[in-house]
Amino acid sequence: MSEPADRRYGPAILPRARGPLSAAVVRALRRPPHDLPAGLGTDLDPADPIFDEDLQLTLFLCYELHYRGWLGVDESWEWQPTLLALRGRCERVFEAALRRLVGVPSVPAAGVAAGLADLVAADDGPALAAWLQRRADLAQFREFVAHRSVYHLREADPHSWALPRLGGPAKAALVEIQTDEYGNGRLDRMHAELFRRTLDRLGLDARYGAHVEAVPAVTLATNNLMSLFGLHRRLRGALLGHLAAFEMTSSLPNRRYGNGLRRLGFDELATRFYDEHVEADAVHEQIAAHDMCGGLVGVEPALAGDVLFGAAAGLAVDRLFAAHLLDSWAAGRTSLRAPAPPALPPKVSLVVSPAVAPPAPPALV
């Protein structure tokens, strides 16, 4: 694959390995497609799959071949049988860990929408959004944005895998949500483009996949979860449940993220991504729970449990992600594996007085 003239949209740069399994995959991807060693990954037994750097990076390496791909990697790797077999072994370990984490959510008599509401109401994860609104310094906010860039620069893409797998009311509802996510066909309103502006205003590398190298396993797991659900038709209910939980828990945190950036002195170009989600996700919440998930279960009642599993798994992994960030900052250390890539100083618009202007970011090496 030749390097594109504009790398804002991918492919991503192949990251360094984090263990023997990901090392084998990275070495393989640097060569033309060929069979991987027999038995690779058959002895997988990580103590905690969600936090296992080698496993999560291996999954991410495999999944990205179905998105924008890796720079310099032959695109034929996407369907190479022995790589798919390895991915399947990793997926079984990851999915089993997710099911242990959340158990089997029960479907209430009131229906799947009520079950989603119950899960969201019971979610008592760490108050990451409140911290970012009120207390985070500029370096911490930049770390948070670097973490989230792995998803937001391809925002909505994982859930779009469900579109050809649905029909009827669930499909219509998903199209309505995704149309907003993709800016109703306008590049400047696509949510991924709005987030790219936030990265730019904070002085962070806005190229696709730029921060994969720096984020830890738990961040990769929040992304791999969506890809796992999206790339398996049998998990289409879980994918819609994940999206519903995502939309139902988004509006207030995004308001807090925007207010946190305003507290640090940033302008509307930096906050527009978050401000857009305050209004949009308040509308999407009802569409996702009732029209999309309710519509799916109305046609396929057997998928109700899968919908709630997907929602519960998404909420649970996001709690682990939030706890990692807050625990790291409480201990006075970075939440990233390494500092974010070198960047220009943040592009701050002086919407506050010089006396309370945000401090310069720490040197990033």
Measured distance CA(106)–CA(108) in Å, rounded: 6
Contact 17, 58 (CB under 8 A): no
Q: Are residues 83 and 132 in the same domain?
A: no
Single out the residue in 36, 68, 101 at which a domain terminates: 101
- Domain of 239 in residue numbering reads as 109-352
Q: Are residues 48 and 164 in the same domain?
A: no
Count of structural domains, the chain: 2
Q: Are residues 113 and 89 in the same domain?
A: no
pLDDT score at 351: 39
Q: Are residues 47 and 126 in the same domain?
A: no
| pLDDT digits 0-9 by tens, 133-179 | 999 999 999 999 999 999 999 999 999 999 999 999 999 999 999 99
Single out the residue in 101, 134, 151 at which a domain terminates: 101
Measured distance CA(44)–CA(332) in Å, rounded: 33
The answer to whether position 357 is within a domain reads no
Q: Are residues 48 and 128 in the same domain?
A: no
| pLDDT digits 0-9 by tens, 278-315 | 877 677 899 999 999 999 999 999 999 999 999 999 99
CATH number, domain with residue 204: 1.20.910.10
Measured distance CA(132)–CA(202) in Å, rounded: 14
State the amino acid at position 301 in one-letter form: P
Q: What is the pTM of this model?
A: 0.92
Give residue 361's pLDDT band: very low, low, confident or very high (50, 70, 90): very low
The answer to whether position 360 is within a domain reads no
Q: Are residues 277 and 130 in the same domain?
A: yes
**Start-to-end C-alpha separation, the chain:** 29
Single out the residue in 101, 132, 151 at which a domain terminates: 101
* In the predicted structure, residue 234 carries a pLDDT above the cut 80: yes
Q: Are residues 117 and 260 in the same domain?
A: yes
The answer to whether position 4 is within a domain reads no
- If one compares 201 and 342, the residue with the highest pLDDT of the two is 201
